[in-house]
A and B are shown apart, each in its own frame.
Chain A
């Protein structure tokens, strides 16, 4: 479970990127985090993952406070950033082994899992090449494989489906569903509203740093008294200034 309590963040100046955010992401659910560009999604995810310091409020992941117990909190989640352009000089297999060392994955499990995951995503063949030579989608796949390798309770995925081919996209969505079915947490941000409609149990919409809505899809339709698509709802919500 993830909990945001009165979380506020501002960059230089007075404008608050995130303002008094209160949000609970329960276990066993796929939680979609939506908002227009510049709404505060990335800032929220960066605070959640310990990349940005929090100005006010607390964030807990499986009851570990990310500010007070960063190491324990970080061990419980896996994070796929929006841009997979990292560790480019390492070979695919070297990156996965590095992740294995960081998350203390026993050698015998590691071999089996790396082989399974990378074969599923179709990158097994290129594991001996530097990540730099991979396409965007392949880089995304190796980062996702890294997260799945240490099998954390909480998945935090920032635009995880961008650049994936339909087969891999389908696989990842299946894996997300499976993870939630096991009673674990999936928190992901996306711009693709069709994916949210297909996949999410719950959604939150953030705009100008403030939470506009959180709840189940049906609640949202009910609240705004419309039978329209999520796209219409989204536009209506984020334009209500």
Chain B
């Protein structure tokens, strides 16, 4: 056990080696925390409204504990699926795995040590869901000390079971999947799988949702589905125990269920250790070996000359497409928003009504709304904000080759712009064919958004140059615990959001053409100044990026 602790402590140290030492990081945390306050308040307000109104409706029928059960089931399912990619990359694909494999550790010890990274994600996610649910439920039901204690223990121990279930699934799967040949494909499939599950889950929830009578509808639905839900908890048995433990009316009843809840968790942990010991090595050994297909290169067709800029851009795009973590975060995630809205639009029967409504809205307002929405979609794209960080410790390769820093910068910008263009095309289809936006507005929007995409990338690269994350040992880490994407989105949104709002309300700007003209001038000017600043920064900072 001492060795397990030692291993875990070492991994914790390595994981947090940079935290607290970086002043910029602290500053970013501060800024982002302030920016997130309004979103946090909205989230709390929403949860409070839902929980307190549900409680009012359900309390008379004695079904109120279903609120906690539903909350825990939904969180459990969310944790179950979102943790798969993180477990996969931490257990099997982290670069440091090989170093540990050579040391005299039991497989279960490695698995426990390697649980740190996925558990951090899981606890982070459950902190923003479970804690407020329990808090507002406690407020509504007037829960006392016993409720608070049980609530605290629920937060600590509840996320373990979804994590363990995902880990067991991954370990068994990896035992039998021939991944040493298809390492990249496995990562990609796991990532896409989680994403589609989330989309599917949302769609199902939306299909069953009657927004106008949410509380009443839900209460009736719950009464009908009561048995179903409790049946469902069999898949996550700790939900049943935790929910009953949190019903504190009869104290010994609550304590008994708490013991049951803890017992289930302990059994799950024991299973995790046994499975880890049994299956981990069988899956992880051989990961490092690459598949070597002996194919003779067709040199004839593959020697073509390109300009340095284009060659660099192609290299960037190929790296993004072929690296699963990059592909998921830069390409797939950015398609998510348009794709998601696309599905929502098709599901929603009111789509015809929306197209009709559009006819009566001023083209100016349509253009502004479309532009702001597109900026949000483009701003969430992680390609530009990871452009320097993606290189990792290999950033030095940009320094010894005779390539102008400016060319490298444009190569990265161009690659990010091309990736974002895919989202733009999706949005174009969405606006043009699904919502039937007037053609003139659509064309004006397209011109604006192409410029908007460039400016969003300029901001993204600028932020990444100042605070790159080069010391990662797993590609997924490039996108984790980083504020660059959020910061870029906030700058973009606050800057252009203010402009769009002003244009929306200014009485003398009524014409769509004038709106377009003003937006174009502002975008053009922003591009000019940001690009100049960026080139200057690259010129000054290029050599020092490694030393950051």
Contact = CB atoms under 8 A, between A and B. Distances in A.
Interface of A: 46, 49-53, 70-72, 74-75, 79, 81, 85-87, 89-90, 92-94, 97-98, 100-103, 106-107, 110-111, 114-115, 124-130, 132-134
B299 A101 contact: no
B272 to A, nearest CB: 31
Most buried by A among B311, B396, B401, B547: B401
Given A85-B394, A114-B303, A133-B291, A51 B400 contact: yes
B322 A87 contact: no
B305 interface: yes
B399 interface: yes
Interface in B218-233: none
Given A127-B299, A128-B297, A49 B400 contact: yes
Most buried by A among B290, B293, B308: B290
A46 B401 contact: no
B425 to A, nearest CB: 25
Interface residues of B, number: 38
A53 B300 CA distance: 41
Contacts of B299: 93, 111, 114-115, 127
B234 interface: no
Contacts, number: 106
22 contacts: A51-B396, A51-B400, A51-B546, A79-B400, A81-B396, A85-B394, A87-B315, A89-B319, A90-B315, A90-B318, A92-B297, A100-B305, A101-B307, A106-B305, A107-B303, A111-B300, A128-B298, A130-B322, A132-B290, A133-B290, A133-B292, A134-B290
A125 B305 contact: no
Contacts of A87: 315, 394, 397
Given A52-B546, A89-B323, A124-B296, A100 B315 contact: no
A132 B319 CA distance: 12
A101 B311 contact: yes
A53 B307 contact: no
Nearest to B396: A51
B295 interface: yes
B359 interface: no
B292 A75 contact: no
B544 interface: yes
A94 B318 contact: yes
Nearest to B289: A133
B289 to A, nearest CB: 9
A46 B305 contact: no
A71 B406 CA distance: 12
A51 B546 CA distance: 8
A98 B311 contact: yes
Contacts of A132: 290
